[in-house]
Amino acid sequence: MSKKTEHKECECGSKDRITEYDSDTQEGYEFCDVCSSYLRVQIINIPKHGMFPIGWIPEYKKAHFKTGYVLKIWQKGGNGFMTSAIEKSKLKSAIEELKKDDRVKRFAITFKDGKGNYQTQIYK
């Protein structure tokens, strides 16, 4: 395994796009916690029990999306935060639930406002 994790510049201008790439398998993951751009390349045909038949060729699946909303959650007693992209339609119920959740110390939502600037709203 030769996995490499680095921070790259994103198309939105953020210099903090997380990228993970495995040069052996060519699998990769990218996420920007400003604009929510997400990319994942995975091999979907790895044989069960690791028995690779002769002539096996990896089959890749690529997922790429951008919901426009990034959710960050800080939990009580924890270090750092969890970050993920969230869909607009799920935003309202997620905010309600996170407000009620005792384990959550703080959470924030980053999105683009009407003028095209990224805004972060912090809750709790």
Query: How do the residues of the chain divide into helix, strand and coil, expressed in percent and rounded to 5?
Result: 15, 45, 40
Least separation in angstroms between CB 43 and Zn ion? 26
Per rule CB under 5 A, is residue 70 in the interface with Zn ion?
no
Return the range that interacts with Zn ion (CB under 5 A); candidates 4-12, 78-86, 87-95, 115-123.
4-12
Binding window for Zn ion (CB under 5 A); candidates: 25-33, 45-53, 74-82, 103-111: 25-33
Tell me which of 28, 31, 32, 109 binds Zn ion, using CB under 5 A: 32
Q: Among residue numbers 33 through 52, which ones bind Zn ion (CB under 5 A)?
A: 34-35, 37
Q: Are 39 and 28 in contact (CB under 8 A)?
A: yes
Nearer to Zn ion, 32 or 73 (CB): 32
CB of 84 to Zn ion, least distance (A): 14
Report the sign of the C-alpha dihedral through residues 6, 25, 84, 35, in that order. positive
73 or 110: CB nearest Zn ion: 110
Rounded CA separation 114/117 (Å): 7
Phi, psi of 120 (to 5 degrees): -120, 125
Q: Which residues are near Zn ion by CB under 5 A? A: 10, 12, 14, 32, 34-35, 37
